[in-house]
Amino acid sequence: MAKGSIPAARPGGNRLEAAGTMESNTRGNSACSGAGVDLDIDTIDSFVRDRIPDLEGAARLHRVQGGQSNPTYIIAYDNRKLVLRRRPDGKLLPSAHAVGREFFVQKALWPTPVAVPRMILHCTDPAVAGTEFYLMEHVEGRIFHQDSLPGVERRDKRPMLFNLAEMLARIHSVDIAACGLGRFGRHGSYFQRQTRRWSGQWRLSKGRELDDMDRLLHWLPDNIPEDDSTTIVHGDYRSGNVIYHPTEPTVLAVLDWELSTLGHPMADLAHSCAYIWMMGDLQANIMGASSVSAAIEGLTMPEFVDAYCRMAATEHRLTNFHLAFALFRNAAIYEGVADRARRGNAAAANAASLGRVVPILARRAVAMTTAGEDFMSIAQSHSSAGQPNGL
C-alpha cells in the first residue's frame, strides 16, 4: 500500500539492535537471544503460526535493546520478520503502557500519509506472552538511541531533521474524523489536562521532594497559553522514535505511540526540541557514551521549528511554556521509570539512572519559566553542554 512519498513497511534485513549476542539457547527448532529474553519461544511460535500462514523455518526471538517502556522483541523466520511489543510485568501506574492504544492508533494511521509499521494483531491473553501485546511488521532501517544522531555525517543530519519535522507536520495534518480517531481523546484544554495528569503521576512515583518540581506544579497551570487546537499528537515524537531509511534521510516509520492522544500540536514540537537540543547531554551520559557531545550540527532549534510551522501551515507558535511543560513532563516520566526500577519491573537495564537526571530536567524547566523572548537561544545552549553535574 502506497503511503504518499514515504515507503511502506517492508520485510528485509534486520538493522535493529538486539541486546546481547546469539546464544545456543534452543527449544526444539527455535532459538532465543539477548539479555533478558523472558518469553517462551515455543508458545509464541505456535500462536503466530496459527494466525499467519506460510512462515518458513524455525522461529528466532531477539529482545530489542534500548527503550524504557514496553519490552519489544523481533521474531524472525526465514521469510519474514515480525515485531512483538508487550506491556511490562508487575504493578504499573494507571493508564501506563497502553499497548492496545498503540495498536489502535497505528492501524488507523496506516492509510494516511503518516509512516507507521503495518499492524498484524492485538492479543490480551496473558497466557501467550505474559501480558497484553501486539504484533507488527518489521521495518528495515536505522534507529538512533540518542536523538543527536551519533555517527551521522554533519551534512546528513540537516535533511534527516528536516524530514523529522515534515513527518510531524503530517501527523498533525491528519483528518482525525476521517481515519476513525475522532474519539481517540478529548477535544480542547489539552495542556490543562496534561498538567494535571503528570502532576499526579509525579506525586504517585516520586522518590524524593524536589523544590523545582514544586515550582513547576504551581507555575504551569497559571501560564497555559490561551490558543487551543486539537490534532492527533504522538506524545513522544523525536528522532529516537523513528526508523530512518538505511542510507537515505527519509523517515520510514514512526514508533512508540503509547502516549498518543488528541491534543495540542505544540506539545509534540516542544517535546522534539527538548530531546534534541535540551537533553542530548543527559541522553549521552545515560547511554554510557564515551564522549558527551550532543550538538546538532547544521540545524538550529529555530530552523527546525520554522520548518515544521511552514510544512504544517500552522499559526501556532512555540513558547517558553511549551518547553517548560515538555521538560516537566519528561521529569515525571523519568521518575516513573526509576520507580519501576526500584520495584524491579523496568524494561531496560539503565532505568535506575534516569532518576538521577530528573532534578536537572526540573532545573532546566524552571529556567524556561523566566527565559523571556530569547528562550530558544537559552534552550539550545544545552546541546553543547558538558557532562551535567551529579551524573
Check residue 259 and give left, alpha or beta (phi > 0: left; psi -120 to 50: alpha).
alpha
Nearest to 305 by CA among 320, 322, 317: 317
pTM listed for this prediction: 0.84
Q: What would the grid cell of residue 214 be?
A: 514544586
| Phi and psi at residue 128, to the nearest 5° | -85, -55
Pairing label, strands 22-27, 242-244 = unpaired
Domain shared by 123 and 168, yes or no? no
**Which of 104, 137, 170 is a domain's end point?**
137
Tens of pLDDT, residue by residue, the chain (391 residues) = 334 333 333 322 223 332 232 332 333 456 665 545 678 999 999 999 999 999 999 999 999 876 557 899 999 999 999 999 999 887 666 566 789 999 999 999 999 999 999 999 999 999 999 999 999 999 999 998 888 788 888 888 999 999 999 999 999 999 999 999 999 999 999 999 999 999 999 999 898 899 999 999 999 999 999 988 999 999 999 998 999 999 999 999 999 999 999 999 999 999 999 998 888 777 766 655 444 344 466 688 999 999 999 999 998 999 999 999 999 999 998 998 888 777 776 655 566 678 889 999 999 999 999 988 888 888 877 655 444 444 4
Domain shared by 209 and 120, yes or no? no
Whether 300 is in a domain gets the answer yes
CA dihedral 85, 90, 95, 99 (to 10 degrees): 10
What is the spatial distance between Cα 182 and Cα 196, in angstroms, rounded to a whole number?
23
Where are the alpha helices (H) located in 233-356, listed in sequence order?
Answer: 265-273, 280-286, 301-312, 320-343, 351-354
Domain shared by 219 and 360, yes or no? yes
Q: What would the grid cell of residue 109 be?
A: 494511521
Domain shared by 102 and 210, yes or no? no
Domain shared by 211 and 307, yes or no? yes
Contact 362, 327 (CB under 8 A): yes
**Which of 111, 137, 163 is a domain's end point?**
137
What is the spatial distance between Cα 294 and Cα 30, in angstroms, rounded to a whole number?
41
Q: Which structural domain range is residue 63 located in?
A: 22-137
Whether 45 is in a domain gets the answer yes
Domain shared by 126 and 162, yes or no? no
Domain shared by 118 and 190, yes or no? no
Domain shared by 99 and 133, yes or no? yes
Q: Count how many domains the chain has.
A: 2
| Phi and psi at residue 85, to the nearest 5° | -130, 125
Q: Helices 320-343 & 265-273, crossing angle to 10 degrees?
A: 70
Q: What would the grid cell of residue 95 be?
A: 493508564
Q: What would the grid cell of residue 267 be?
A: 506539545
What is the spatial distance between Cα 333 and Cα 357, in angstroms, rounded to a whole number?
11
Domain shared by 91 and 200, yes or no? no
Three-state DSSP class for residue 316:
coil
